[in-house]
Amino acid sequence: MTTKPAEPKAKPRPAGKSADEMGKMQREISVSEFFTKNRHLLGFDNPRKALLTAVKEAVDNALDASEEAGLLPDIVVKLEPVAVGDGPVPAASQATRFRVTVIDHGPGIVRDQIPKIFAKLLYGSKFHRLRMSRGQQGIGISAAGMYGQLTTGKPVKIISRTGEKQPAHYFEVQIDTKKNEPLILEKKQIEWERHRGTQVTIEMEGRHQKGRASVDEYMELSAISNPHAQFTYHSPEGETKVYPRTIQHNPDPPKEIKPHPYGIELGMLLKMLQDTKSHWASGFLSTDFSRVSPETAEQICKTAGVSPRSARATSSARRPRSCSRRCRRPSSWPRRRTASRRSARRPSSRACISRSRARSTPP
């Protein structure tokens, strides 16, 4: 007689979590933590692309700063292979770690802004301007520093000077990914041979390979698309390539424009209504939008069924104060007529009562 094998005992399932336990697990996620786990969204998909992205972000910042200051861009890009550990420095084609250095002769950066510019995501001066520029979000160069921090653990090194009579400031910074705030590891004044400008150095993992979508091709295309700039490129192989400028003046700066009504969504329109300095609907349309004349603004208000002279709603903080506790009438309103004027213009109360009785009695 055969016996049936014993059935395996079912493992007890873990008890589910309560709402209170799940609520305690909720916390805010900083933008640095998000991009740390999603760095492919910033162009750091693989080591080869990461090296190109870091060079591009630093060069774009140098071009924008020089052009905005009215200076002819003069940019130096240097790539150096770095040894891992105590081993010898490998060849450029075999290296997995590089030191990226970008130097410009622009206006420089004031001391208090250096840590935030290079070690804080979403910090910049171009996001709120409706004007064409190479960078706008304030992510690029700080994201490159964050990538170097994640892959090598090394800080970003910055030297900046704003003038010949001003000292040069040296910083070593990292990003606190939990708070999205800069961590200053070292800061001091140093002697620097350049009268003004900025130098940024990032050590990061990367791969150098010539051909399409390489740093070498990017430098050539940048020299073609920016004939007013001079580029000096020190390749990892030890070669030095100079791309001289072909014109001696900067292009005309782009003009800042206002939005057009066709490109505005409802939520943005409501926000603009709250921030506008105009007191009338027609004035808001003609001053805060491009290509909207006062006649067109009145026509828009007429089509929408809104009075052109309708005032926008003001908050309680902007309302005028009352003249007293009992009186809710704002002090800026005209006061009521005095008793003497009322008595001169209106009949007395007794005369009003007698007239009403006379009208109510039948003939």
What are the C-alpha distances in Å from 268 to residues 151, 260, 262, 272, 309?
40, 12, 12, 6, 22
In angstroms, the CA 150 to CA 275 distance is: 40
Q: What are phi and psi of 184, to 5 degrees?
A: -90, 110
192: its two tokens: 């620097």
Cα gap 350→363, rounded to integer Å: 22
Strand 197-205 to strand 97-104: parallel, antiparallel, or no bridges (unpaired)?
A: antiparallel
Closest CA to 77 of 60, 94, 95, 96: 60
Q: Write the DSSP symbol of residue 311.
A: B
Radius of gyration of the chain (CA): 34
Structural domains in the chain, sorted by start: 31-243 (3.30.565.10), 261-304 (no CATH)
Contact 245, 230 (CB under 8 A): yes
pLDDT tens string for the chain (363 positions)? 566 676 777 777 777 888 888 888 787 777 777 777 887 787 788 899 999 999 999 999 899 889 989 999 999 999 999 998 888 899 988 999 999 999 999 999 999 999 998 988 877 666 556 666 665 555 778 889 999 999 999 999 999 999 999 999 999 999 998 888 999 999 999 999 999 999 999 999 999 988 888 999 999 999 999 999 999 999 999 999 999 999 999 988 877 788 888 888 888 888 888 888 888 888 889 888 888 898 998 998 888 888 888 765 444 444 444 444 444 545 445 555 544 444 445 555 555 555 555 555 555
- CA atoms within a 13 Å half-sphere pointing along the CA-CB vector of 38: 8
Separation CA 189–CA 119 (nearest Å): 19
Beta strands (DSSP E) in the chain are: 74-81, 97-104, 156-161, 168-176, 181-190, 197-205, 230-234, 240-243
Answer for the pair 173, 156: CB distance below 8 angstroms, yes or no.
yes
Kindly state the tokens that stand for 337: 């007529």
